[in-house]
Structure 1
Amino acid sequence: MKCIRVETIGDFRIIEVPMKKPADDEVTIKVAVTGLCRTDLKLIRQGHRDLTLPRIPGEEVVGTICERGADVTGVNIGDLVYVYPGQWCDRCHLCDSGAENLCPEMRIMGFHRDGGFAEYVTVPVRSIITVPEGLNPDMAVFAEPLSCCLNALELGRVVSGQSVGIWGAGPAGTLMCRAARAIGAEVVSIEPDERRREHIYGYGSCPDGIFDVCIVAVGAKDAYEEALERLAPRGRLVVFSGLSPGNDIMEISFNRLHYLEQTIVGAYGCNFRHGRQALGYIAAGAIPVEDMISHRMSLYDLETALDYVQHRSGMKILLYPWRRSSIGMWTDASLKRFGNTIQKVMNGHDMTRQESYDMFRQIMLNEQPDLHQGAFLAALTAKGETPHEIAGAWQAVLDLDTNRLSMEFRVPLVENCGTGMDEMKTFNVSSAAAVVAAAGGVRIARHGSRALTSTCGTADLLEAIGINVECAVEDVGRSINTVGIGMFNGMSTSIHPRSLARILSLIRFGSTLNIAASLASPCKPTHGLRGVYSAAMVNPVCAVMKEIGYERALVVHGFDEREERGMDELSTIGRTVIRELKDDGSETTFSIVPEDVGLERSRYEAIAPMNTIKAESIRFLKIISGIGYPECCDIVCLNAGAVFYLVGSAEDIRHGVEISREIIESGRASAKLVEWIQAQADTAGHGRRKFMSLVKEARMGHIFDHILS
C-alpha cells in the first residue's frame, strides 16, 4: 500500500509498504478520509514528545472495514467506522475510571503506532465505532477533534446557562464554540484574526466581560494571561492548547486562586466514549461541521496542505489517499467567495487592503484554480489598482513567500528596480545604474528576476558575469554589508520559496503581482527608485511605497519620442514622468526630458536589447568601464543620477548625472563590479572563472587585470 512515512523530523516520503495483516483482535480499514490538524504539522516538521520514528502519521481517520481478524465479531466487512486513535491497557486505575487517555501504556495512532496517512490502517477492533447510518465520512471524521472539545467541556464542567469564553477560532476553537452552544452555554469567541472570526457565526465578543469558564484553544501565553484576568469567582480555566517548550512557564497568583476559589484544569486528548457522543451530535445536526471544510486534497499533496495549516489558511483540511492529485479540488463555498470578488472587481469595486491581502493569500498558497487566479489578476489590472490593493498584494507576498533578512544601516538602503512587462525593452539599465551608484557610496539592495518577456533579465545578466544569483538571503546580505551591493533573485526558491516563480512564469502581462513582487524585498529598503510599466501606475505605486514604510521614493515611467510606448526606466529618448515621495511624507509629480539634465536624446536602437545573454554581458562590462556605447552610458548615468538625488548625494538629477559619469570614467564602477562578484560568489570559484572568461572574450583584460590582481 502507499503511505506517507516520516523518516526523520522535517522529512517525509511517499512510499510503498506491505499492508499489515490484522491480528485476531484487529481489523484492517480502507481509509476513506483523514483530517489534518496542527498536531500533524508539529509532529512532521518539528517532532513531538510522543513520536517514535519512522512513523506513518494521521490520527483522524474514517474508513470501511476490508478485513477482520479471526476473533472479531459485531462488525462486518464494508462497515463505515470511525477510529479512536488511542490504544489503552484497560487494566490500570485510570482506564477503570474512564480516563484511558492518561493510561501510562497509551499508544496513540500516528505517534507510537502507524496512523491513517495511508491507503489502509490496521487497528484493534475495540478502537472503532460504527458511523451512524447516512452520515457522510467527511462529516464523521470531525468526530476526533470534536471528541477532544467534548473532553475539555466535561473537565470545565460546562453546563447550560453558564458564560464561556473561548480563546482562538481555528478548527478546534470553532468546534469548541459550537459544542458549548449545543450544551446551552452562552458562548463568546475571543479571536483577533478577522478571517477566523468569519466561521464563528454569531459568537459575539464581550471585551470587558468575565466568564464562568475560560477555555484557551490557541497556543499563546498572552491568551492564558487574558483568560486568567477574565475568569469569574469560582470559575474554571481549561488548558486545552499547550505552549511551546521554553515558553510554558507562567507566573500565577495563588492568592487570587485562593481568594476567588478558582480552578485551573488541563484537558488532553479525549476518551473512547467521547467519540460516540461526537458522532451523535454530528449525525443529529446539533453541531454543524460541513461549512468548516476549506480544502479537500489528495494525501499526496501533504506538503502543500501543511503549508496551509502553518499559515492558518482556511479552516479544516481533509485528505484522501485514493485521490492522486488534489491541487484544484476546492470547496464550492471558497470558489463562490473568490468568484464573487472577481465579479465585484470587474464591476469597478475597490477592495480594502485586507480584502486584497486575502485574495492574494489564496493565490500565493495556490488555493484557487489557475483560471480563477488569472481572471482575478486580469480583472484587477483592467480596473486599475488602488494603493490599498497593491499594499495588500505586497503584504501577502512578503508574509507568505519571502525569506526575510534584518539589516540596519545608518545610511539609506536603496532598492532600484523595475516591474518589467513594459512595452519598450532595453538592455539592463537598472543593474548598471546600481553598480555605478554603489561605486559612489550608496548601499544597494537589488531585487530582480530572470527574463520573462525579454532575452536577458537581471538574474540572467548577473549570473553570466559571475555573480551567484541562487544564493541564500544571508549571502546577499553579507555582500551588501561588505561591498555595498547585493542582488536578491525574485525567481529563486531561496528568496521566494513557494509561489512567486510559479505565477510569474505563467503570465505575460503586467499585473498587480509584478508591482507587489518587485516591492517584496527580503530586506527593508528605506529608499526606492522604481520603474513601472505604465504611466498610470506612477501615482498609486508611490502611494503604496509611502504606506509600506519607504522614507523616500522616485517612481518613474519613461516614454519614447512620440509618447506612444513606454519603459520602466528614466528615458533618454523622450519625456519621463516622475512621482516623488519626500522626507516629510508629501508627494509631488514632475517630468523631465533628456535636455533638462544635460543629455542629448538617444535612439531606441542604441539601447535596445541584444539577441543573446553573452552579448548583453559583454556590452554591460563595456558600459560600466566607459568603453563605447555612449547612448547606453547616458541612460545609465541618468538612472544612477536619480539614485544620487534620491539619497541626497546630488542637488538634483542633473548633478547626479555628472557624478555618475565621473564614477564610470574614473574606473570606480568597474572596480565595484569586481568587488561585487567576489563578495556574492559561489564557494567553488565558478563565478570568478566565468567572469575571467568573459573579460578575455571581450578583450578587456587591460581594464580588469589590475583590479583582479
Structure 2
Amino acid sequence: MWEALDLLAHRRDLPEAEARRAMTSVMRGEASPLQVAGLAMGMAGKGVTAAELTAFVRTVREFSEPFPGPSEVLDTCGTGGDGHGTFNISSTAAVVAAACGVPVAKHGSRSVSSRCGSADVLEALGVNVDLPPRAAARCLEEAGITFLSATVFHPAFKHAMGPIRELRVRTVFNLLGPLCNPARAEHQIIGVPDEDAFELLADALELLGAAHVMVFCPQDGLDELSTSAPARVAETREGRTRRYVLDPAALGLAAAAPGSLTGGTPEQNADLTRRVLAGERGPRRDIVLLNTAAALRMAGRHEDWGRAMARAAEAIDDGTARDVLDRWVRVSRSR
C-alpha cells in the first residue's frame, strides 16, 4: 500500500499490479483506515484512469461471494451521489423492467451519504434485502427479480466503509458498485452525474469487455436519465462502444418541474414508488418510463425508445408491475 500512496503523492498513475496490490490490501483488511482514506483521496486528487479502475474492479470481484444464478440478468445500479435527492428512480424502473419480463438482479446497498439508498427504499417496501446467495438466486427464479446486497456479497468491503462514510465525498469507491454486480450482470444501465465519471466508466467497461451496458450523464447532473435535459450516452455491446446524445424532448417527454422528483425518507420514497406502480401520472412516471426504456434496450427487448416506453407504461397500467413488487416481497420473505 505504501508504494501506491507514494506514487499517488507524486500524482503518478498506478501500474496494474500496484493497483491490484493496493486494493487487495484494502479487501484483506491489511490497510489502515488512514491508508484507505489516503488511497481514495490520492486517486481523487490525481484522477482515476480506466486501467486503474479496471484493476480495482477485477480485484474486488475476486473477493466477492459468488451468485449461484444466471448472468443473463439486468442491473440498474448507479453511482449515486448526485446531490439532487430524488426518489429512487432506478429501483422503481427495475421493478417495471421485471414486469416486462426481464430478469433483474439489482445490486446495491444502504445509503452512504444520502437519505435513502436502494436497499433502504426496498426494505421500506417490504423486500428482504439481506438474502444470502442461494436465497437470492431462488428469489430471482420465483419472482423474476432479486436484490444482491453489497454487504452480503462483498463482505471484504467492510474494511473500506468506515473511511468512506467519514470522507462523505465521491471517490473511486463509489464507482466500483455498478461494475461489481455479483451476478456478473450482462445487461446494465448506469447513471453518473458528471462528465469525468461518464468517460471513465465508458472506457473501463470497454476494457472489461462488457456485454450490453449503457452509461449516461444528463446535463442537469442527475445520475438517472433525465426528462429535463439531454444526456450523453455510451452504449457498450460486446466490448464495443457507441456514443450519442439522447434528448428527452424528442421523445415527447415534458421537462419535470423543479422539485417534482424530490424524495425523502425511505418510507416517503417507498410511497412514491407505490404511487408510480399504481399508475399515477406525472413527472415521476415519465422519468421511470424513460429509464425503464433504457433497461429494455440493453436487455434486447426493444431498440426503439418510443416502443420501449410504451411497453413500460403497459406493464404499469395493467397492474403487472405492482404484482411483481408484491410477489418480490412475498418470495423474499418466504425463506
TM-score (norm 2): 0.93
2:255 paired residue number: 601
1:642 paired residue number: 294
Matched, 1:592 2:246: yes
In 2 relative to 1, CA 485–470 (structure 1 residues): closer, same or farther, beyond 3 Å? same
Distance 1:623 1:483 in 2: 20
1:513 paired residue number: 173
2:122 paired residue number: 462
2:153 paired residue number: 495
2:88 paired residue number: 428
Report deviation, 1:340.
Answer: 4.1
1:407 paired residue number: 69
Matches within 5 A, 1:435-446: 435-446=95-106
Matched, 1:619 2:272: yes
Distance 1:527 1:351 in 2: 29
Task: Tell me if the contact between 1:422 and 1:510 (Cα under 8 Å) persists in the aligned partners.
Answer: no
Distance 1:448 1:678 in 2: 20
Distance 1:614 1:649 in 2: 32
Report deviation, 1:466.
Answer: 1.0
Higher relative contact order (CA 8 A, sep 6+): 2
1:87 paired residue number: none
**Partner amino acid for 2:333?**
A
Report deviation, 1:604.
Answer: 3.2
Show structure 2 runs of 5+ residues with no match: none
Distance 2:85 2:195 in 1: 16
2:236 paired residue number: 581
Task: Write out per-residue CA displacement over residues 328-371 of structure 1, whole angstroms, 9 at most, x where no aligned residue.
Answer: xxxxxxxxxx3442242243322233221111111222322322
Distance 1:498 1:343 in 2: 24
Distance 1:343 1:591 in 2: 40
Matched, 1:542 2:202: yes
Task: Tell me if the contact between 1:421 and 1:508 (Cα under 8 Å) persists in the aligned partners.
Answer: no
Task: Tell me if the contact between 2:85 and 2:263 (Cα under 8 Å) persists in the aligned partners.
Answer: yes
* Of 514-523 and 641-650, the range deviating more from structure 2: 514-523
Distance 2:199 2:322 in 1: 35
Q: Secondary structure at the match of 2:136?
A: helix
Distance 1:518 1:587 in 2: 17
Matched, 1:667 2:328: no
Task: Write out per-residue CA displacement over residues 430-482 of structure 1, whole angstroms, 9 at most, x where no aligned residue.
Answer: 01000000000111110011112221111111111111111202111111122
Task: Name which one, 1 or 2, has greater alpha-carbon Rg.
Answer: 1
Identity across the alignment (%): 26
**Partner amino acid for 1:555?**
V
Task: Tell me if the contact between 2:37 and 2:164 (Cα under 8 Å) persists in the aligned partners.
Answer: no
1:375 paired residue number: 38
Task: Tell me if the contact between 1:473 and 1:522 (Cα under 8 Å) persists in the aligned partners.
Answer: no
Matches within 5 A, 1:168-183: none
Report deviation, 1:643.
Answer: 0.7
Distance 1:588 1:532 in 2: 17
Task: Write out per-residue CA displacement over residues 46-84 of structure 1, whole angstroms, 9 at most, x where no aligned residue.
Answer: xxxxxxxxxxxxxxxxxxxxxxxxxxxxxxxxxxxxxxx
Task: Tell me if the contact between 2:78 and 2:190 (Cα under 8 Å) persists in the aligned partners.
Answer: yes
Distance 1:557 1:361 in 2: 30
Task: Tell me if the contact between 1:644 and 1:653 (Cα under 8 Å) persists in the aligned partners.
Answer: no
Task: Write out per-residue CA displacement over residues 148-176 of structure 1, whole angstroms, 9 at most, x where no aligned residue.
Answer: xxxxxxxxxxxxxxxxxxxxxxxxxxxxx
Matches within 5 A, 1:123-272: none
Q: Secondary structure at the match of 2:167?
A: coil
Task: Tell me if the contact between 1:355 and 1:392 (Cα under 8 Å) persists in the aligned partners.
Answer: no
Q: Secondary structure at the match of 1:424?
A: coil
Report deviation, 1:609.
Answer: 1.6
In 2 relative to 1, CA 385–655 (structure 1 residues): closer, same or farther, beyond 3 Å? farther
Matches within 5 A, 1:81-100: none
Task: Write out per-residue CA displacement over residues 5-38 of structure 1, whole angstroms, 9 at most, x where no aligned residue.
Answer: xxxxxxxxxxxxxxxxxxxxxxxxxxxxxxxxxx
The structure with the largest helix share of the pair is 2
Q: Secondary structure at the match of 2:188?
A: strand
Report deviation, 1:549.
Answer: 4.0
Report deviation, 1:508.
Answer: 1.2
Distance 1:555 1:639 in 2: 12
Task: Write out per-residue CA displacement over residues 236-285 of structure 1, whole angstroms, 9 at most, x where no aligned residue.
Answer: xxxxxxxxxxxxxxxxxxxxxxxxxxxxxxxxxxxxxxxxxxxxxxxxxx
Distance 1:504 1:367 in 2: 16
Q: Secondary structure at the match of 2:155?
A: coil
Matched, 1:657 2:304: no
Report deviation, 1:631.
Answer: 0.4
Distance 1:604 1:356 in 2: 42
Task: Tell me if the contact between 1:433 and 1:640 (Cα under 8 Å) persists in the aligned partners.
Answer: yes
**Partner amino acid for 1:637?**
L
Matches within 5 A, 1:557-572: 557-560=217-220, 566-572=221-227
CA RMSD, 1 decimal: 1.9
Q: Secondary structure at the match of 1:567?
A: coil
Report deviation, 1:386.
Answer: 1.5
Matched, 1:525 2:185: yes
Q: Secondary structure at the match of 2:176?
A: helix
Distance 2:140 2:209 in 1: 20
1:355 paired residue number: 18
Task: Tell me if the contact between 1:439 and 1:668 (Cα under 8 Å) persists in the aligned partners.
Answer: yes
Report deviation, 1:607.
Answer: 0.5
Task: Write out per-residue CA displacement over residues 495-531 of structure 1, whole angstroms, 9 at most, x where no aligned residue.
Answer: 2223344454333111111111332222121111111
Matches within 5 A, 1:33-72: none
**Partner amino acid for 2:86?**
T
Task: Tell me if the contact between 1:641 and 1:660 (Cα under 8 Å) persists in the aligned partners.
Answer: yes
In 2 relative to 1, CA 395–570 (structure 1 residues): closer, same or farther, beyond 3 Å? same
Distance 1:440 1:591 in 2: 26
Q: Secondary structure at the match of 1:542?
A: helix
Report deviation, 1:682.
Answer: 4.9
Q: Secondary structure at the match of 2:76?
A: strand
Task: Tell me if the contact between 1:525 and 1:550 (Cα under 8 Å) persists in the aligned partners.
Answer: no
Give the count of matched residue pairs: 333
